[in-house]
Amino acid sequence: MRQLLLLACAGLVVTAPLSAQEVKLRSTLDGHVYQVTCVAFSPDGKTLASGSCDRTIKLWDMGAGNNTATLKWHANAVLSIAFSPNGKTLASADWDGTIKLWAVTTGKNTATIKGHSERVPSLAFSPDGKTLASGSWDETIKLWDVASGKNIATFNGHSSVVNSVAFSPDGRTLASGSHSDTINLWDVPSGKNTASLKGHTDVVFSVAFSPDGRTLASASGDTTIKLWDVASGKNIAALKGHTGCVLSVAFSPDGKTLASGSQGKTIRLWDVTTGENTATLGKHTGWVDSVAFSPDGKTLASSGNVDNAVKLWDVKAVNEAAK
């Protein structure tokens, strides 16, 4: 945060925080009967997927706001989902470590991938869509060839469970966050651990790259969000304000806004340049497990673990203020 303050003193204009009233709750998507653990937008923004402890994945039409399909072949709670870059495939993973691939247009389960011995709370497709990364409570990260479903690499290096994985925009670096309070950066072609980022004092629940790949955000049980310079591995800011563990972070498509969901039942929006909390949203009745921006940056989706719902927020006003 010191660097952010120095930048402000150097002449940058700090955007005044927006009130929560300037962010409208557009709608609430009901249909799951248990905790909604994860949400993800399709690359074209027309579909939202939500995974739940009710062992299903629901697909929602963003134009009409209705549930268009329910995918039911998981035997355990669905913990993570991810769309392929072309939007044709949806990956999902569950409590026992099983990963499934689905054809989005038909809803058919096209592949079942097994290899992890514990739950898989995070999935990420490489930018070219050829590789799927999975982070697991078995303390490993696995890379899978999407076409064949074969395990092509296993990264070992964390001393505890892996909660989150994310590819850099160029696909050459993978970031992973773990229960050991650390974030590891991996060179994907070689599989080498190139850096370990330390600074959090509790579990790292979520990691996300900025759209330009220069900044990494991490969410932690220490109630903070940290921003890291990827090239140097240095912590450049600590965002504080949440009253509970921060469970999820996501950058807006233009990289100017960061959203975070927490155990404190709130979502916070942050101006990435200044570190200012621009809005605090509190309509969920329990933990906010997951947040995701639509590709056009106008909508934020969030999932709750008590209300069993997905909420859609109109965040256009916040993103315009950040410009």
- How far apart are the C-alpha atoms of 217 and 225, rounded to whole Å? 7
Q: Does domain 2-321 have CATH number 2.130.10.10?
A: yes
pLDDT at 244: 94
- pLDDT tens-digit series, residues 283-316: 899 999 999 999 999 999 999 889 999 999 999 7
How many Å from the N-terminal Cα to the C-terminal Cα in the chain?
20
pLDDT at 317: 58
- How far apart are the C-alpha atoms of 184 and 47, rounded to whole Å? 32
Phi and psi at residue 146, to the nearest 5°: -65, -40
- How far apart are the C-alpha atoms of 12 and 1, rounded to whole Å? 14
pLDDT at 304: 87
Strands (E), 210-275: 215-220, 224-229, 235-240, 246-251, 257-262, 267-271
Query: What is the DSSP secondary structure assignment for residue 189, as one 8-state letter?
Result: T
Query: How large is the C-alpha radius of gyration of the chain?
Result: 18
The structure tokens listed for 180 are: 């050991």
- pLDDT tens-digit series, residues 84-139: 999 999 999 999 999 999 999 999 999 999 999 999 999 999 999 999 999 999 99
The structure tokens listed for 70 are: 């329910």
| DSSP bridge pairs for 141 | 135, 155
| 81 SS3 class | strand
| Structural domain spans, the chain | 2-321
- How far apart are the C-alpha atoms of 202 and 285, rounded to whole Å? 24
Answer yes or no: is pLDDT of 74 > 60: yes
Query: What is the DSSP secondary structure assignment for residue 12, as one 8-state letter?
Result: P
- Structural contact between residues 81 and 124, judged by C-beta atoms closer than 8 angstroms: no
Q: Quote the pTM value.
A: 0.91
- How far apart are the C-alpha atoms of 161 and 96, rounded to whole Å? 14
- pLDDT tens-digit series, residues 2-32: 233 222 222 222 233 344 447 999 999 999 9
